[in-house]
Every structure is written in structure tokens, then in C-alpha cells.
Structure 1
Amino acid sequence: MESTRPEIAVDYPPFFRIYRDGSIERLDTETVPPGLDPKTNVESKEIVYSQETGQHIRLYIPQNATSSSSAQKLPLLVYFHGGAFLIGAAASPTYHNYLNSLVSEANVIAVSVDYRRAPEHPIPACFDDSWDALKWVASHHGGNGPEEWLNRYADFDRVYLAGDSAGANIAHHIAIRIGKEKPDGVNLAGIVLAHPYFWGKEPVGDEAKDPGVRARLEQLWRFAHPTTIGGADDPWINPFVGQSLASLGCTRVLVCVAEKDLLRHRGCHYVEELKKSGWGGEVELMEAQGEEHVFHLNKTSCENAVAKLKKVAAFMNPDKKEV
């Protein structure tokens, strides 16, 4: 009897498998509940930010902030997870553990956004969801929002966006939209782009020129955005097409790249193009030697991961000296 299972189009073990019919099989779907993390003393909880889609955020705060009688205002981080727009979740152990560590190190309150993923919800669903999450967060800036942690502890004069890989791509686009629309309640101080998932038809710098490698990456992008007209030069994946980086709605940017990451050259190119765009802010590049894509999520205790964590924490606390 012949198998009725569709033919595999793209196989990325241990992460996902995409079939010729456009369906996806996610191979790692483990999640962990929110709560108090005994290692970092960071508390977390989940809140639905969109009744229409049922999407939620996971909110993190250092326990010492809620136990203090002074109601100290903390910098506010809005974080977007990675996963090629196809996988990943705010509730995954990888992101839950990373946000616990980052919130503890930086002493910030963080919102980790869960967004709808392709191919079930193709581009631009993730960008729409992320913007809706940001607006939900901003609704607390006057102290009258639905979530007390944000009302009492979030400093809306010190808002940061961050993300890794596809999440860094989202952070960039949200920052561009903030710069254009200037929504109430969001004073965007800076963004952190970790190993940003940008691409394009033509290589930049010493980027891989192998047609097979480039075609595979474009194929992956087309699974996330099947109706794309520009392919790898679609403005959602290539930030140098159809938009000006000068409209970025913040004054500080930190771009993190890894030496052995295929996407490294795009991150470096982003820094150079941002400097030439007329944007006028300050951009910094941090490169981890000998490391691969999103290594800091998988090798959390290695020297480079620790250094990156401290760098990002210091970026969100510019008035404090980096140790």
C-alpha cells in the first residue's frame, strides 16, 4: 500500500519539516508554564493581548521589584522570538529561560510576544500581531491598562525592542512603523537585533554566493510568505528595499552577529547602511567569534553567551557602567 503522506520539501531536523502541499510538522513543541523561576527570582505570567486571535504575551518581572514598597519603575523590553516565522513560541523552554536570565541581569520588565506563525498564518500575520501586542502594551502608559505589573512598574520613557533571527526582523519593522506613526505611549529608546534574519537576491560582502544555498533560503522565505512578489527582495525580508532606514523610530541600535552565521553579513551590512541613511542615531555592532546562529540561546553558559547577555543588559541601562 502506497503512503499517502505528502512529499517532504524542506527538512530542518530537529526543528521542522515542510511538505510539498505547504503543510508543516514542527518537531519541537515543548512548552513550560510561567511562574517564579528559583534560579533568577524572576516572576512571569501569561496574558491574552488579542481576543480576536487568542494570542498572548508572557510578562516577566524581577521578584524584588514587586516585593518592594517603592514601586520602582523599570525599563520595558518588548521581545520577539525567532524561528524563521515558522516555529518558536514565547512559552518554549528556550525563550522562557532566556527571558528569565535577561530580565534578572538587566533588571527590566519584559513582554515576550507570541505571534501567529506561517505557513498556517503567512506573512504579514506575525507583523500585525506584534504591532497589536505593542499597542496593548502602550495602553498602560497612563497607568490605567488591564495589567497591574505594567501600570505600576513599567517606565514608558525607556522602552526597548529586541529579538533574535526572525524576531530581530520583526523588531526592525516595528521600530520603522513606530518612527512613521509615532503611537502614543511608546518612547522607543533603542532596539537590539540579534542575528537578524534579513536576506536578498544579491549577495552583500562575503556572503554565500552558492546558488543552491541562496535558493534554499529563498524557498524557506516563500513558505512563510507564499504570495510574495519580490521573493528574497521582498521588503519584509530585505530591509534595504522599499523603505528608508532613516525612519527608524529610536536613537540607539545594537546589532549582534556571529562569525559562523550565514546571516552575519546582512547584520553587518545593516549597520553600514544605517550609518549612511541619515538616521542620526548611534549604532553599535557586537560580533561573537567562532559562534553560529543564535548560539546564545543554546549555549547559555558559554563565555560569548554570557558576554552577549551582559552587553544587552548594559544597552538597556546606559546610565550604569558595564562590568
Structure 2
Amino acid sequence: MDSNNNQVAHTLFYPRLLVYKDGRVERFTGTDFTPPSLDDPKTNVRSHDVVISQEAPISARLFAPKIIHPHQKLPLLLYFHGGGFVAESPFTARYHNHVNSLVSAANVVAVSVHYRRAPEHPVPAAFEDSWTSLKWVASHSGGNGSDDLLNRHADLEKIFLAGDSAGANIAHNLAIRVGTRGLPGPNLEGIILVHPYFWGSKPLKSEKIEASVRSLVDSRWRFVCPTTDGSDDPLMNPARDPNLGRLRCRKILVCVAEKDKFKERGLYYKEVVEKSDWKGVVEVVEAKDEDHVFHLLNPTCDNAMAMLNTIVSFMNQS
């Protein structure tokens, strides 16, 4: 291979990935594939993969309890994985197991979305793919959609959008989009934002973050979204979104971690949402002594189990 092909152009996301000057992208994490299962003996959850769109290649993994009464309808969880918009997928062991656990504990149906990732597909591709996925879910409202599981067992009057990190960012922005564009048919009950990937050009008074770290976060956002004006882009900074009060859900759960550099942004999100015209309820829970997406790295630790139980309670509350 020509040595020029090995020249690195970007290291902003190393050790997750490298971008070479010839345009190649090499990912080092989040590339494993766990197959779906018709019978997970540990969780009693079944899963299968679907294609949502051929035009923009969007796929998803669907999960449901193995045993559902023939006429039973369950709440639907639409999940968006994290990874800084550049890495991971619903098919890695980490995310397959996480959504499996949510479905088992909450007794819901879940759709875990595989949106296109930067840098090959810069933001806003991830948002457009996620919106397409939500509309695909909505197409099952009359029981005539393309997936039989959703037709028979998904209660589209009770949809939750959820995600971690970049996926939490997507979930929030989709709830804004539902409020501004509308989504005939289903009802968006709530959103679950785990360690949300929000930022801003100026530090909050409560933030104690080194300038080099702030610069890295700013640079990463510009890298994944080359058309952005910066970290005050409403996609990244909800406080700058004039449509914040049009969130289309009645309740929000925000999970933060004490050692996470994005923690203060999650707390600030509650503050700015409550000051907007939105009339719902925001709940924030904090995991002590934990860092960003700790629950994916150590899913059986006490704090991860506590967070799982909080999410389950949030979805099961009437």
C-alpha cells in the first residue's frame, strides 16, 4: 500500500477511530456484531433485525418479551445509541445487551436504530435517519405497517424516545421535531436522556472543565457537523433553541453521572426546559462516583442497576 494512504488526517476521536488523508475511516471500537436471538435464556427477550430504509441505508434491531398475550399491547421504546455520532451500533454486544435488559425489566417493545454515522455521513444525517425511523414506527399505528411484531404488540399511544450521550441528544431533538412538524397517529409519552451530549460555546458557572477539554469537545462537534456555526448550534445547545418550549412529550427523565464532563449540561437542561413554555415534568437523577456511560461499561454494578430501575419506573408510571 502506498505510504501516503497511511497518513492520518484526523485524530479527534482516537482511540475510537482514525481518519486518513485518502478518506478512509478506521474504527477500533464498537464494530463487533451480536446476532439477534429468538430466545435469550437470560432475559426471555426475542429480537430480530429489520431494514427501515433502502434509500438511506437505515436498519434497526427490534426487541420484545418472548411471551406476550395475543392481544396485549406494550409501550414502545425507540432507542438511539451513543458514540459521539461516529461509533457504535445497535448490533454490538454492549448495546444489544443494554436494550435487552431494558425490555426485560420494563416489559416493553423496543426499536434500536442504526443511523448513519459521521464522518462518512456528517450530521445532520443521524437526525434525519432517526426521524425516518420514528415515522416508520408511526406507520404501524393502524396495524398495517411492515413489521408484524409492531402491528400486533406495540402500543403507539405510549412511545418513549431514549438514548445515551449522542443518542440522548438525538432523542431530545426528535421530541422538538415532533412538536414543530407533527407526527400523525402515535403519542410521544416521554423522553429518557442518559448522560446527554449537550454543549455550548461558553462554560456554565458550575462547570470546572479544562480549556483543552472544552476545545476538544468543540472541535469534535465541528468535525461531525461541518455545516454548524459552533457549539451554540441548537442541535448541540438546547438553551439556544427557540423551539425548546415545543417539546412534544409530557415528561422527561435526565440521568447524569457525577464525574461526567457533560453532567452540568444535563442539570442545566432541566433548568432551561422548566423556564421555557413547555408544561411537562423533568426529573433528574445522578449517579455518584461514576463517569460517562458507566452503565454500558459495568452494567451489573449497583449504580447501573439503580439507573435501570429508575428508567423502568419512569416508563411504567401511569
Contact 2:12–2:219 (CA under 8 A) maintained in structure 1: no
Other structure's SS at 2:256 match: strand
Quick check: 1:32 aligned with 2:34?
yes
1:200 maps to 200
Q: Following TM superposition, by how much is the alpha carbon of 1:179 offset from its aligned partner in structure 2, in angstroms? A: 1.0
Of 36, 49, 54, the match for 2:52: 49
Question: How many Å separate the matches in 2 of 1:307 and 1:112?
Answer: 22
Among the aligned pairs, what percent are the same residue?
Answer: 52
Q: Once structures 1 and 2 are overlaid, which stretch shifts more, 157-166 or 50-59? A: 50-59
TM-superposed deviation, 1:206: 2.2
For the aligned residue pairs, the C-alpha RMSD in angstroms reads: 1.7
Alignment of 1:148-297 (within 5 A): 148-228=148-228, 230-297=229-296
SS in 2 for 1:240: helix
Which residue type is aligned with residue 142 of structure 2? Answer: G
- For 2:21 and 2:234, how far apart are their aligned partners in 1? 25
Work out the CA distance in 2 between the residues paired with 1:277 and 1:7: 44
SS in 1 for 2:62: strand
- Greater shift in the superposed pair: 168-177 or 5-14: 5-14
Query: In structure 2, what is the Cα distance between the partners aligned to 1:111 and 1:195?
Result: 20
Once residues 266 and 132 of structure 2 are traced to their aligned partners in structure 1, the CA distance between those partners, rounded to angstroms, is: 26
8 Å contact from structure 1 (residues 98, 297) kept in 2: yes
Cα gap change, 1:2 to 1:40, in 2 (>3 Å)? closer
Q: Distance in 2 between matches of 1:6 and 1:219?
A: 20
Structure 2 match to 1:136: 136
Matched, 1:93 2:93: yes
Provide the residue aligned with 2:108 in structure 1. 108
Aligned length: 315
Contact 2:197–2:236, Cα closer than 8 Å, also in 1 = yes
The TM-score normalised by the length of structure 1 is 0.93
8 Å CA contact retained: 1:288, 1:304: yes
Aligned CA distance change for structure 1 residues 274 and 82 (closer, same or farther; 3 Å): same
Q: Which letter does structure 2 place at the counterpart of 1:139?
A: S
1:205/1:72 CA distance change after superposition, 3 Å: farther
Q: Secondary structure at the match of 1:316?
A: helix
Amino acid at match of 1:189: E
| 1:71–1:152 CA contact under 8 A, matched in 2 | yes
**SS of aligned partner of 1:233:** coil
Structure 2 unaligned residues grouped into runs of 5+: none
**Residues 194-252 of structure 1: CA distance to partner in whole angstroms, max 9, x if unpaired?**
00001111011322443211111111111101222x21112221112243321000010
Give me the whole-angstrom Cα distance separating, in 2, the residues matched to 1:242 and 1:300.
34
Runs (5+) with no aligned partner, structure 1 = none
Report the alpha carbon displacement of residue 13 of structure 1 after superposing the two structures with TM. 5.1
